[in-house]
């Protein structure tokens, strides 16, 4: 058996998700007639205490749509230089929306500092040389910063700042339930600080496909047109919405186990000579570590692990990423540690 720690996107749908679809409830969602989609969208809006919600085939399309719905052509969107939106989404806002990315330095814990954003905002808005900012995007938890959670006090500060500048905030909350579970708060305690939020059904929640975007009614109405334009309008989308509903019902509270397993893995790693892992930085289901053994390059180490049935991946700057999820139990973690010990012998 392969231990799959490359990503929580490798989670497979549960039997219940696959068996839950009753064809009688399916309909054409472009006409707004798929009962499962309507139910999922109602549920997502309620969980995050927003007026409305819309289903997307992917988080990338949900983020792109959100940016396009908030931002006119020629405006600039403020993003983290380590954000998924900036690094992994193929420049969609520029390509499809004529929008400029303004990358801001990312702190080790995933925050973008207000003072750094301030520098990206032109002092004289009347000066026709400048493109004007239209949106601030923040990521929570932050993937490339190791699954770190944005503190609630920071969200409050950021939302007050954004309001003072009349800028909306979009949160890329691909793994937002990992944050709410780790903080022991209702998701709405996080989303109250932002205007729109994207979350993935397809990661730790283990649904096969789908992401949700939540926000106010007018914003979601705009998003519906943009989604159709981008080719994300789906017909009997209940096929993916129903597993999404099951995911929201059954797969949220168990995320805590993933966090426990991530911590257990980190603690084990930190005790292996030649491995460097800062356990204090593990806040959710993502573990970063380094190999500081001259026998192995990063790529050789990852290959050796794969040869021993352990899948992990590199995530830039010499780091290796391991992600825990519903397909990984405590014994898998022990097994993974045994494999790494063996390699490091």
Contact between residue 179 and residue 149 where contact means Cβ atoms under 8 Å apart: yes
Q: Which of 285, 330, 47 is nearest to 178 (CA)?
A: 285
Query: Does 332 contact ligand PLP by CB under 6 A?
Result: no
**Which among 54-62, 114-122, 228-236, 330-338 is the span making contact with ligand PLP, rule CB under 6 A?**
54-62
Selected from 41, 82, 84, 258, the binder of ligand PLP by CB under 6 A is 84
Selected from 53, 60, 178, 206, the binder of ligand PLP by CB under 6 A is 60
Query: Does 211 contact ligand PLP by CB under 6 A?
Result: yes
> What angle (nearest 5°) sits at the alpha carbon of residue 172, between those of residues 168 and 176?
120
Min dist CB 200 to ligand PLP, Å, is 5
Query: Does 174 contact ligand PLP by CB under 6 A?
Result: yes
Cα separation, 345 vs 343, in Å, equals 6
Selected from 34, 82, 102, 172, the binder of ligand PLP by CB under 6 A is 172
| Residue 312 tokens, joined | 């992990």
Cα separation, 262 vs 323, in Å, equals 7
Edge to edge, the sheet with strand 275-276 lists 275-276, 286-291, 320-323, 313-314
Query: Does 283 contact ligand PLP by CB under 6 A?
Result: no
Q: Give me the DSSP letters along 46-58.
A: HHTT-SEEEEES-
Selected from 82, 139, 258, 283, the binder of ligand PLP by CB under 6 A is 139
**Between β-strands 320-323 and 286-291, what pairing exists: parallel, antiparallel or unpaired?**
antiparallel
Min dist CB 156 to ligand PLP, Å, is 22
Compute how many residues bind ligand PLP; rule: CB under 6 A: 12
Is 76 or 144 the residue whose CB approaches ligand PLP more closely? 144
7 burial via Cβ count (<10 Å: 0-12, 13-18, 19+): middle
Selected from 40, 55, 179, 200, the binder of ligand PLP by CB under 6 A is 200
Is 143 or 181 the residue whose CB approaches ligand PLP more closely? 143
Give kind and range of the element (H or E) at residue 67. Answer: helix 59-70
Cα separation, 231 vs 121, in Å, equals 33
> Which DSSP category does 251 fall into?
S
**Which among 42-50, 55-63, 162-170, 280-288 is the span making contact with ligand PLP, rule CB under 6 A?**
55-63
Q: Count CB neighbours of 1 within 10 A.
A: 6
Min dist CB 139 to ligand PLP, Å, is 5
Query: Does 58 contact ligand PLP by CB under 6 A?
Result: yes
For residues 229 to 268, the per-residue mask of contacts with ligand PLP, x marking binding by CB under 6 A and - elsewhere, is: ----------------------------------------
**Which among 58-66, 177-185, 243-251, 263-271 is the span making contact with ligand PLP, rule CB under 6 A?**
58-66
The packing angle between helices 59-70 and 217-229, to 10°, is: 120
Is 200 or 291 the residue whose CB approaches ligand PLP more closely? 200
Q: Which residues bind ligand PLP (CB under 6 A)?
A: 58-60, 63, 84, 139, 143, 172, 174, 200, 202, 211
């Amino acid at each position: 058996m392969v231990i799959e720690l490359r990503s929580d996107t490798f989670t497979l749908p549960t039997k219940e998700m696959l068996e839950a679809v009753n064809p009688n409830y399916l309909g054409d969602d472009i006409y707004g007639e798929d009962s499962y989609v309507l139910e999922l969208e109602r549920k997502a809006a309620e969980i995050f205490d927003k007026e409305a919600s819309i289903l997307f085939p992917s988080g990338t399309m949900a983020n792109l749509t959100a940016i396009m719905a908030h931002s006119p052509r020629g405006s600039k969107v403020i993003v983290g230089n380590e954000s998924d939106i900036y690094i992994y989404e193929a420049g969609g806002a520029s390509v499809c929306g004529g929008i400029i990315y303004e990358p801001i330095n990312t702190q080790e814990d995933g925050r973008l500092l207000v003072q750094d954003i301030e520098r990206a905002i032109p002092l004289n808005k009347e000066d026709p040389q400048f493109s004007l900012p239209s949106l601030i995007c923040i990521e929570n938890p932050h993937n490339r910063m190791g699954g770190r959670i944005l503190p609630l006090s920071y969200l409050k500060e950021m939302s007050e700042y954004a309001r003072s500048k009349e800028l909306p905030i979009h949160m890329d909350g691909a793994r937002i339930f990992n944050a709410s579970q780790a903080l022991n708060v209702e998701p709405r305690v996080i989303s109250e600080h932002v205007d729109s939020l994207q979350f993935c059904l397809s990661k730790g929640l283990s649904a096969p496909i789908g992401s949700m975007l939540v926000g106010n009614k007018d914003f979601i109405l705009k998003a519906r047109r943009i989604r159709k334009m981008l080719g994300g309008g789906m017909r009997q989308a209940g096929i993916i919405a129903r597993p999404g509903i099951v995911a929201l019902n059954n797969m949220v509270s168990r995320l805590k186990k993933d966090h426990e397993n991530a911590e257990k893995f980190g603690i084990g790693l930190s005790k292996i000579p030649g491995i460097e892992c800062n356990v204090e930085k593990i806040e959710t289901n993502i573990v970063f570590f380094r190999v500081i053994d001259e026998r192995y390059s990063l790529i050789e180490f990852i290959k050796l692990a794969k040869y021993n049935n352990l899948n992990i991946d590199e995530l830039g700057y010499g780091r290796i990423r391991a992600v825990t999820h519903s397909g990984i139990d405590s014994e898998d973690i022990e097994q993974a540690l045994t494999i790494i010990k063996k390699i490091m012998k």
